[in-house]
């Protein structure tokens, strides 16, 4: 009939609309922010879970995160100007800043050392109860002190075997105490176990699970790195004899896996506590590592290199409310966790945060946050990669490696000297210079008088065995 509805009906409709809008806003405002449980392992290789491709490993609890959540297979820490790669890695993660702009680095902003700009304070300002437990060494002390509660559990030599159990006990106690006290704030737990970093001591039942003789070596295993990469005898490289042997390497793998399985077992207990306290469905669980580790790959045993199965490549898995199941090959950094957590928490970012929120990737709205990713180590190594190609440059010895990661994921075939790949080397070198300039990295990619790259182990070190767990060599 085209007749206008009576005025009273329109008023009622308008009121209903206003009421609905108000209600929706109230519901949105009251929608609980997710708890965040971040498990950040120490020296955990990128593929270091059964569900991430290491068949010999037993990690049933952490595997469930991969099975129901989103895994980032190309996550890295950006680099380190010191042998203790952990330190800048954890600093970048808790500040969201790149390696040359973290506090005390070459090019920090004036606010870089202000605790108000650190992740725990940003989460607290967004209404979170912030709680940390983990190792104290190489862990960015100002960052962990910025948590409302910060507990240190180093697992010093001789007691390290029980560290995962103790960490889990304290975490479970915290989760239960919140339930008992009816704490209404969401939590942000930063659980930073000192494993599987050496000394690799797990509880005996986990060591019994792994027979070294049955463990496969990496396809990239070599007795010696074929030339001097600039960091051949750093502390971590002294943890195995030269030349590296299959027997010693398998023994180290067994201990490494035992520590990971021990961590997995006790993380499973934390998962049970979350379920028992009714927090499971509202907890975003993030599993990551601070840096990678070579375990015989390319003849190396440390994290002071830029190979994929080496120093900077780390695991990263998200699982929880609203997280779809899948795998992403987006090129991401650990420092992206800062804006990602802030995004889930509804927290504004402080000035100077360079990481990028991964939430749009996780939720399938975009495929990537950057086109290329660069890493570095001291003045002796720089690398850049895209979806397929990777270049590593060693300025001190004037060497370049080019790998086709799609065909050669273990980086066994260096294509840099092949004429048909010259354009690829030039393209990636130019991109590397751009990334370095953007990151305030002023180290040269070419030097006037490069050193000879020939290398053989210094004689006193040739027969050196792995030091005992209370080793005198300085910790990295």
What residue ranges bind Ca ion (CB under 5 A)? 42-43, 86, 290-291
When the beta carbons of 48 and 320 are compared against Ca ion, the nearer one is: 48
User: At its nearest, how many Å lie between Ca ion and the CB of residue 473?
Assistant: 16
CB of 376 to Ca ion, least distance (A): 17
Shortest distance, position 248 Cβ to Ca ion, whole Å: 21
Is the Cβ of residue 42 or residue 336 nearer to Ca ion in the bound state?
Answer: 42
The beta strand positions in 14-101, using DSSP E, are: 35-41, 70-72, 75-76, 79-80
User: Phi and psi at residue 46, in whole multiples of 5°?
Assistant: -60, -30
Q: Give me the residue whose beta carbon is nearest to Ca ion.
A: 86
In whole angstroms, the minimum distance from the beta carbon of 470 to Ca ion comes to 19
User: Shortest approach of Ca ion to residue 312 CB, angstroms?
Assistant: 11
Looking at beta carbons only, is 201 or 290 nearer to Ca ion? 290
- Residues across the chain: 476
Nearest distance from C-beta of residue 86 to Ca ion, angstroms: 3
Considering the complex, what minimum distance in angstroms separates the CB of residue 398 from Ca ion? 30
Q: Closest CB to Ca ion among 83 and 241?
A: 83
Cα-based distances in Å from 305 to 84, 127, 273, 311, 368: 12, 40, 39, 5, 25
Instruction: Compute the CA torsion angle 327, 331, 335, 339 (nearest 10 deg).
Output: -70
Relative to beta strand 373-377, strand 381-385 is: antiparallel
Dihedral of the CA atoms 237, 238, 239, 243 (nearest 10)? Answer: 80
Give the span between the Cα atoms of 25 and 88, in whole angstroms: 41
Least CB distance to Ca ion at residue 138 (A):
7
Question: CB within 8 A of 432, min separation 6: which ones?
Answer: 374, 382, 383, 384, 391, 393, 445
Distance CA 424, CA 419 (A): 10
User: Which C-beta is closer to Ca ion: that of 377 or that of 389?
Assistant: 377
Closest CA to 274 of 165, 150, 174: 174
Shorter beta-carbon distance to Ca ion: residue 86 or 175: 86
State which residue, 122 or 167, has the beta carbon closest to Ca ion. 167
Identify which of 116, 110, 194, 124 has the alpha carbon closest to the alpha carbon of residue 160. Answer: 194
Is 91 or 401 the residue whose CB approaches Ca ion more closely?
91
DSSP 417: T
Number of neighbouring beta carbons within 10 Å of residue 415: 18
Q: How far apart are the first and last CA of the chain?
A: 82
């Amino acid at each position: 009939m085209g007749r206008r509805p009576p005025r009273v009906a329109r008023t009622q409709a308008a009121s209903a609309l206003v009421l609905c809008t108000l209600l929706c806003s109230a519901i949105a405002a009251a929608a609980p922010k997710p708890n965040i449980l971040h498990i950040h392992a120490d020296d955990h290789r990128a593929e270091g879970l059964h569900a991430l491709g290491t068949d010999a490993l037993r990690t049933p609890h952490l595997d469930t995160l991969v099975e129901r959540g989103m895994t980032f297979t190309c996550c890295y820490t950006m680099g380190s100007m010191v042998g203790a790669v952990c330190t800048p890695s954890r600093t970048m993660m808790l500040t969201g800043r790149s390696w040359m702009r973290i506090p005390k680095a070459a090019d920090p902003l004036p606010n870089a050392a202000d605790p108000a700009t650190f992740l725990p304070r940003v989460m607290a300002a967004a209404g979170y109860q912030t709680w940390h437990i983990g190792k104290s060494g190489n862990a960015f002390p100002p960052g962990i002190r910025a948590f409302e509660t910060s507990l240190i559990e180093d697992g010093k030599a001789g007691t390290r075997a029980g560290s995962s159990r103790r960490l889990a006990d304290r975490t479970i106690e915290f989760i239960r105490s919140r339930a008992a006290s009816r704490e209404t704030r969401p939590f942000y737990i930063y659980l930073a176990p000192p494993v599987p970093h050496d000394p690799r001591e797990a509880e005996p039942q986990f060591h019994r699970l792994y027979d070294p003789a049955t463990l496969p070596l990496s396809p990239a295993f070599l007795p010696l790195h074929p030339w001097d990469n600039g960091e051949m005898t750093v502390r971590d490289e002294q943890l195995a004899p030269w030349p590296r042997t299959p027997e010693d390497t398998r023994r180290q793998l067994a201990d490494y896996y035992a520590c990971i399985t021990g961590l997995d077992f006790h993380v499973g207990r934390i998962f049970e506590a979350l379920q028992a306290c009714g927090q499971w469905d509202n907890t975003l669980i993030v599993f990551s590592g601070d840096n990678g580790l070579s375990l015989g790959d390319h003849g190396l045993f440390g994290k002071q290199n830029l190979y994929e199965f080496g120093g900077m490549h780390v695991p990263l898995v998200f699982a929880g409310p609203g997280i779809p199941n899948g795998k992403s090959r987006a090129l991401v950094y650990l420092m992206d966790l800062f804006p990602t957590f802030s995004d889930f928490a509804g927290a504004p970012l402080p000035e100077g945060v360079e990481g990028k929120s991964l939430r749009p990737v996780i939720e399938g709205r975009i495929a990537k946050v950057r086109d290329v990713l660069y890493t570095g180590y001291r003045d002796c190594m720089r690398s850049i990669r895209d979806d397929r190609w990777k270049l590593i440059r060693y300025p001190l010895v004037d060497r370049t490696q080019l790998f086709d990661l799609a065909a050669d994921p273990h980086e066994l075939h260096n294509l840099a000297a092949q004429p048909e790949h010259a354009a690829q080397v030039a393209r990636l070198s130019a991109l590397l210079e751009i990334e370095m300039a953007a990151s305030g990295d002023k180290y040269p990619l070419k030097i006037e008088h490069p050193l000879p790259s020939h290398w053989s182990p210094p004689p006193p070190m040739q027969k050196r065995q792995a030091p005992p767990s209370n080793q005198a060599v300085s910790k990295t």
